[in-house]
Structure 1
Amino acid sequence: MTADRGRGSDLAREALRAAREASAERAAKRTAEMQGRKPVKARGRRRRWSGPGPDDRDPQPFGRLVSRVALDRGWSPRLTDATVLGRWHQLVGADIADHCTPLSLRDGELVLQAESTAWATQLRTLQRQLLGRLAGAVGRDVVRRIRVVGPSGPSWRHGPRHVRGRGPRDTYG
């Protein structure tokens, strides 16, 4: 039995010696590789990590990135105009939005087309309330004036030239 212990300890010594030789070979190989390269100098400044606070390198919400790009490229006024026209039903409510359509928004003037002359008159009386709602929702200087136009009938004019008279009705009879 004592011979068995000697063999076990001899095996352990042999395994330890082999591991040391392998480690020494790897270290010699590394130093030989490093001698071929230039030594890397340590920079005086340490790398800064973002830490627990938000940083520009952290992932950003998509909406924030889009708004930053819009500001950088000068698209913000157009986007706010598009917001007014695109969210018209939410901004003014279903009652008003069902009876009028926003046509354009240029230089702070919103042009609305009413479905009837009665609604055009009603919208002209509600003009101050609409301006207040829009200013609260999209900003104070986005919509400064509202111009209401009534419904438009069919036009018989086609092209740049026009002859005065009754138009196509005088050939009916």
Structure 2
Amino acid sequence: MSAQGSEPSRVDLARIALRRARDKAKSAPSRGPDGRRSPPEVQVSSTNGRDPAPLGGVIQRLLVDHAWQRAAAGGVLLDQWPAIVGAQRAAHWEAIGYDATTGTLTVGCTSDAWATTLRLLEREVIAQIAQRLPSTRLLRISVRRSDQSGFRR
């Protein structure tokens, strides 16, 4: 409680809400034998329930149902990196990884000069990626020199 009297502080209210949410989650019935909730079922047949569904539709539904769109978007970004930045820059900048939770792309550079160039052009590169891959949430680029990234050409 706050020092002023009977009204709880914001921190106290947050703790109370968290405790209630945890209690509610503990009391919710579990569906699986291991205590975990089972994932939502994926429809693998067409509208009449008997014909197989197209593979692309099933994969798209899996991406949506399991919220894998961001991870898939990161894979597309890494795959299309040379086309986005151009052949000359791609020869010196290697897209190493993408963290969908933080929106960070890690790029390895062949030299300090190329690392500095990328740092200077970071906003421009992020804008190019946003234009070409609107489903990819990119907030920043983490620049690594070749000796830090293991980048070899």
Quickly name the TM-score band, shorter chain normalised. Answer: 0.5 to 0.7
1:102: how far off?
A: 1.2
Query: Aligned equivalents of 2:54 and 2:80: distance in 1?
Result: 22
Q: Which residue of 2 aligns with 1:87?
A: 80
Aligned length: 99
Q: Which residue of 1 aligns with 2:58?
A: 65
Query: Aligned equivalents of 2:90 and 2:120: distance in 1?
Result: 15
Query: Aligned equivalents of 2:67 and 2:61: distance in 1?
Result: 10
2:118 to 119, 123, 131: 123
Any gaps of 5 or more consecutive residues in structure 1? 1-54, 154-173
1:22-61 aligned within 5 A: 56=47
- RMSD (CA atoms): 2.3
Query: Aligned equivalents of 2:114 and 2:144: distance in 1?
Result: 10
Any gaps of 5 or more consecutive residues in structure 2? 1-45, 149-153
| Rg larger for | 1
1:95: how far off?
A: 1.6
- What secondary structure, in the 3-state scheme, does the structure 2 residue paired with 1:142 have? coil
1:124: how far off?
A: 1.1
The structure-2 alpha-carbon separation of the partners of 1:59 and 1:108, relative to structure 1 and needing over 3 Å to count, comes to: same
TM-score scaled by length of structure 2: 0.56
